[in-house]
Amino acid sequence: MDGHYWFRPARFWKWFAFYYPASKEGWIATGILLATGVAVFLFGESRSDSVSEALIGSVPWFVALASVFDLLCFRRGEYPDWWRGGTTGESSEKSE
C-alpha cells in the first residue's frame, strides 16, 4: 500500500476495532454504503405493511452491506499495529 489510507482503525473495548473514514475517498465510500442502506430500507418499507416487516426484509441486505464495508476497510484501510502484538501493543516481530 502506498500510505494513502481511506480508513483508520480505532480501538475500543479490549479486542475490537472500528474503522473511520480518514480521506475523501473513505467518506465517499461510507456515504454510498449508507445511502444504499437507506434506499434498501425505503424500498422494503414501501412494499410491506409494517415497519417491522421492512426491517426483517432489510436485515440480510444490511449484513451484506456491512460485509462489503468491512472488506473495504481491511483492503483500503490501515492495519492496526496493536493487533500484531496482542493487548500490549508491541510488535510480534521481536528481535532475538
Q: What is the pLDDT of residues 33-92, one digit of tens each?
A: 999 989 988 888 887 788 788 788 888 889 999 999 888 888 888 877 666 665 544 444
Query: What pLDDT does residue 75 have?
Result: 86
Question: 20 has which bridge partners?
Answer: 8
pLDDT of residue 1: 47
Name, in order, each residue with C-beta under 8 angstroms of 27's C-beta and a sequence gap of 6 or more: 21
- End-to-end Cα distance, the chain: 28
Judged against a pLDDT cut of 80, whether residue 19 lies above it is answered with yes
Position 73 scores a pLDDT of 84
Confidence of residue 96 (pLDDT cuts 50, 70, 90): very low
Residue 69: name the closest of 21, 24, 22, 5 by CA.
21
Q: Which of 73, 90, 74 is nearest to 82 (CA)?
A: 90
Q: What is the pTM of this model?
A: 0.68
The confidence score (pLDDT) of residue 87 equals 52
Q: What sign does the CA torsion over 37, 39, 45, 48 have?
A: negative
C-alpha cell at 56: 426483517
